[in-house]
Amino acid sequence: MVETPRGNAVIGQSGGPTVVINQSLVGLVRAAAGVDAIENVYGARHGVKGILDEEFIDLGREDAATLDAVAATPAAGLGSVRKKPTEEECSRILDVFEAHDVRYFFYIGGNDSAETAHIVEGLAQEKGYDIRLFHVPKTIDNDLRVTDHCPGFGSAAKFVASAVMGDDLDNRSIQGIKIDVVMGRHAGFLTAATALARRHPDDGPHLIYVPEVAFDVERFLDDVGATVERIGRCVVAVSEGIHDADGELIVKSGEKDSHGNVQLSGSGALGDLLAARVRGRFGASTRVRADTFGYLQRSFPGFASEVDADEARRVGEFAVEAATSGDHASGSIALRRHDGPEYAVDCFVTPLDTVARVTKSLDPAFLNEAGNDVTDAWLDYVRPLAGALPVIGRFTGHPVEKRLGR
């Protein structure tokens, strides 16, 4: 048990947004309003950038209707940032917190945000400043350690599964080879989620390639050829971050952010490259198309997974509970899945350093031996997170006897 300070709270959002990140934000705001230890709840504009610049808004003054509307709105309501504060900036963050009597800091983000909270925690301890620092998880990549899954992933999974479902129907209408590039630089969780699109044995995606398996272009072309041989067409889901056996990215671009991450999204380069290779193998007259799903995966409105929206809200609420319970001075909120056939989760607190820096990849048990598809264990894992997908129909197709022949 630690003593619970009384003061103000700051909430920030960081990294690539999700469609339910504001559910966590509003969960925090609503829960904080019901807690005596928290006097005012401030929102920092654009994460640590807003803290450094003292750009705060008073979230306690937003009315209920606004909070409800923002909760259902994709992308960071406070603005986000891709910035890893320097040692000097972390020190400035503490100065700002002290000046505003901030005793609770909730940072909604991925592993980089957990790391930032961890660094600030170290400085606060050195300085003897009493503050509770909590990381609230979000990421469409689902690559945080400890937690069963990340809020934000389920909705992105629903989007990409639905997208491939529609795209596969389109490809069935006008047959050809279709390549769909899905977000995910190191982890293939989101690409693997496209497998939920399947309803019938001949439904796509017919091939799935993730960064966890070394990508070999010739083997990929063989796989495509075999699928076309079998059903006359082929829909492929591929992660933007696929690389060869030497770890070299199949596509590269020069831009890097301040965390050293290479820019892969917002470019059609990988899809176009793979489409060109397919044409090279199967001939220029082969109908080949490539789509890169891009930012819609993390921002498409009005299409969230209900389970995901609910859990994103809960991790926000639980963070306030954990921070004011006296049980933890800091931590990251994680989800634990219950055993048994009925899907259910609990929230718990895990130390910041168990989530910071290092990320998680797909369990090998989720991938088939050929490295071009997922297993049933994966489908069992991901199905409840994406929730209900669009219902689609197909004709039984009673044939009419030919009268002319050919």
Which residue is associated with the tokens 């400085």? 123
Q: Which of 271, 316, 331, 387 binds its own copies (CB under 8 A)?
A: 271
Cα distance between residue 166 and residue 300, in whole Å: 15
For 256-272, give one letter per residue: b (16+ CB within 10 A) or e.
eeeeeeeebbebebbbe
CA distances from 317 to 34, 115, 187, 197, 300 (A): 10, 21, 28, 32, 24
CB of residue 293 to its own copies, shortest distance in Å? 7
Dihedral angle of Cα 108, 26, 96, 128, to the nearest 10 degrees: -70
Q: Which of 272, 310, 321, 353 binds its own copies (CB under 8 A)?
A: 272
Candidates 61-69, 108-116, 130-138, 210-218; binding stretch for its own copies (CB under 8 A): 61-69
Q: Which residues pair with 218 in a beta bridge?
A: none
Question: Catalytic: 53?
Answer: no
296 binds its own copies (CB under 8 A): yes
Q: Measured from the CB atom, is 341 or 406 closer to its own copies?
A: 406
CB of residue 400 to its own copies, shortest distance in Å? 4
Q: Which of residues 93-132 bind its own copies (CB under 8 A)?
A: 95-96, 99-100
Q: Which of 35, 91, 214, 294 binds its own copies (CB under 8 A)?
A: 294
Query: Would strands 330-337 and 288-292 be described as parallel, antiparallel, or unpaired?
Result: unpaired
Q: Which of 117, 140, 290, 307 binds its own copies (CB under 8 A)?
A: 290
Q: Which of residues 231-270 bind its own copies (CB under 8 A)?
A: 254-255, 265-269
Backbone φ, ψ for residue 252 (5° rounding)? -135, 150
Q: Measured from the CB atom, is 128 or 302 closer to its own copies?
A: 302
- Selecting among 63, 130, 141, 291, the annotated active-site residue is 141
Q: Which of residues 76-95 bind its own copies (CB under 8 A)?
A: 76-82, 95
Q: Which of 5, 37, 39, 69 binds its own copies (CB under 8 A)?
A: 69
Query: Would strands 56-58 and 38-44 be described as parallel, antiparallel, or unpaired?
Result: antiparallel
Q: Which of residues 155-214 bind its own copies (CB under 8 A)?
A: 162-163, 165-167, 169-170, 172-174, 178
Closest listed residue to residue 5, CA positions, set 341, 376, 330: 330
DSSP 34: T
Cite the active site residues. 141
